[in-house]
Structure 1
Amino acid sequence: MRGISAKSLQEVLAAVGAVKGSTGDLGAELFNVVSTLDREPALRRVLTDPSTEAQAKAGLAKQVFGQQVSADALTVVQAAVSGRWASGRDLTDGLETAGVTALVAAADAAGELDAVETELFEVGRFVRSDAELRQVVSDRALPAAAKGELLGNLLGGKVTATTLALASQAAAARTGSFERVLSAFGETAAARRSRLLAEVRVAYELDDTEKNRLAAALGTKYGRDVHLNIVIDPSVIGGISVSVAGEVVDGSMSTRLEVARRRLAG
């Protein structure tokens, strides 16, 4: 977001940061508010109308959501509608970001942030590996609640509650495909500790010493801590392929052989 929407988003995130105690439930409540505003464009237009006083919009938000959400969630929603947004869509996108931020903060407080980052990556791989499932969760014509229930049946008990909540929200595909949104949520989780995400492809499982050495080397290269998402890929053959910050560092033997083959072929 840019301009007035970016400033309003900062104020909304500040309201999330001011909440005391666990923010896990807050995230779920904000996602529900987003769902309501997506279904009610007329309400969204009123709540983002620049000609209406902020106090009046905050009052309307209380009338609509006051009995549906907690006091903390209502405070965040009122902070959102009191701001100025370039479009009604920016308001709902901002509240979704606030929900993600709240869930990530709760996971961090619970010591689960590392697990969430890894699980989000693995969920993305799991969905990509099943063409039918990928089509279902990416179908915007299907109700988000139904897709969330499907993911709950598939992932329940296998991932943290935070990961499941984020994956279910990604299935709404509000701002892009399921995979794109899930990846963005993973970046938000990494940004909680100012980290970068790296996809590492190797032919065999790395031990802790190798992982630590690689993470340290990448951290030195990029000037930030790096979270490794390891993919075991037999086609790598030897060496390693790393994708981080939009850059691919491919030192795999398979790539070297392919380069050599092309050179020989002229």
Structure 2
Amino acid sequence: MAGDDPTVSGMAGRYARALFELALDNKSVDAVKADLEKFDALISESPDLHRLVRSPVFGAEEQGKAIAAVLDKSGIGGLAGNFLKLITANRRLFAVRDMIRDFRKLVARWKGEVTAEVTVAEKLSDARLNEIKETLKSITGQKAVDLNVKIDPSIIGGLTVKLGSRMVDSSLRTKLNAIKHAMKEAG
């Protein structure tokens, strides 16, 4: 089932597919996804964890101890915790965000969901996120829309939504750039 997904390939895809198939066998897809989402959020929020994940300077033992402490403190365990420990031991932690992205794709396809990447300048309330979900459901005609929210203060305000190959950019940064270009042409 998951093995024929053309949107998931490469090393990250192989790890994500293996984790997905294990999660299916253990009937823990949602729990694993929630734990991976939590870990991904921790990477986004912590520059130190981001550096630990991305930098080849840290040794396997050092990374292993740090990741074990992070998992313990955050309550991430079970299949997702074991997976994160395994990729740390295999020196593949640098690709964890790609693995999480590919795992999300596999889960979405399995559930018949559409995943939208939403970029905002600051964290949105749950009510606002639900409003965006409902709008995207009505546009796509899908029963379920999963949001992958990224915070990027450089967009200043507004949001960008990427859904498959379509993208809607209503960020303030884009609008200001359009005004800037229009003024250059007029001047």
Question: Which of the five TM-score ranges fits, normalised by the shorter chain?
Answer: 0.5 to 0.7
2:179 alignment partner AA: A
The answer to whether residue 177 in structure 2 is matched with residue 258 in structure 1 is yes
- Paired residue total: 173
TM-score where L is the length of structure 2? 0.66
2:107 alignment partner AA: A
- Note the aligned Cα RMSD (angstroms): 3.9
| Cα distance between partner residues in 2 of 1:206 and 1:131 | 22
1:118-147 Cα deviation digits (max 9, x unpaired): 3254245357775631334xx49954x764
Q: Structure 1 residues 194 and 254, CA, compared in 2 at 3 Å: closer, same or farther? A: same
1:148-198 Cα deviation digits (max 9, x unpaired): 443121232315324433433444466x83332232123233334222333
Contact 1:203 1:237 in 2 (8 A): yes
2:156 is aligned, of 231, 237, 249, to 237
1:190-236 Cα deviation digits (max 9, x unpaired): 33422233332223433333222211222333443222233344333
2:17 is aligned, of 97, 122, 137, to 97
TM-score where L is the length of structure 1? 0.50
Q: Which has the higher contact order (CA 8 A, sep 6+)?
A: 2
Contact 2:16 2:100 in 1 (8 A): no
Q: Structure 1 residues 242 and 265, CA, compared in 2 at 3 Å: closer, same or farther? A: same
1:107 is aligned, of 15, 28, 31, to 28
5+ unaligned residues in a row in structure 1: which ranges?
A: 1-5, 11-89
2:121 is aligned, of 203, 215, 238, to 203
- Counterpart of 1:158? 74
| Cα distance between partner residues in 2 of 1:102 and 1:131 | 27
Q: Structure 1 residues 214 and 117, CA, compared in 2 at 3 Å: closer, same or farther? A: farther
Shift of 1:261: 0.8
Q: Flag as ranges the 4+ runs of structure 1 deviating above 6 A.
A: 93-96
5+ unaligned residues in a row in structure 2: which ranges?
A: 5-9
